[in-house]
Amino acid sequence: MSQHKRPVLNSFTISVLLIASLATLTGCSNAGRSLVEHTHAQSPVTSGGSPMHTELTRKQAQETLYDYMRRTLQEVPTVIALDNARYGGAGGGVDTCDDRIDGENAPIHYYDSRDMHVAEKTDFADLVRKTGDVWHSWGWRVEERENSEKPNRVGTSPDGYILRIEVRPSRFAGYPPSFTGDTPCFSSRFRHGDVPVPTTITHDEP
Residue ranges covered by each domain of the chain: 58-197
The domain defined by 58-197 folds into TBP-like (3.30.2030)
For residue 35, pLDDT over 80 is answered with no
Query: By three-state DSSP, how is residue 198 classified?
Result: coil
Contact criterion met (CB below 8 Å) for 97 and 106: yes
Beta bridge partners of 156: 141, 162
List, in sequence order, the alpha helices (H) in the chain. Answer: 11-42, 58-75, 124-137
Span 88-140, pLDDT tens digits? 656 788 999 977 767 677 899 999 999 999 999 999 999 999 999 999 999 99
Amino acid at 179: F
- Please state, as a whole number, how many other Cβ atoms lie within 10 Å of the Cβ of residue 161: 20
Buried-exposed string 46-67: b where 16+ CB fall within 10 A, e elsewhere:
beeebebbeebebeebbebbbe
d(C-alpha 123, C-alpha 143), whole Å = 20
Which pLDDT value is given to residue 196?
A: 85
Note the Cα 121 to chain centre separation in Å: 35
Q: What is the pTM of this model?
A: 0.73
Which pLDDT value is given to residue 19?
A: 42
> Stretch 180-201: mean pLDDT, rounded?
89
d(C-alpha 129, C-alpha 120), whole Å = 18
In this predicted model, which residue has the larger pLDDT, 23 or 169?
A: 169
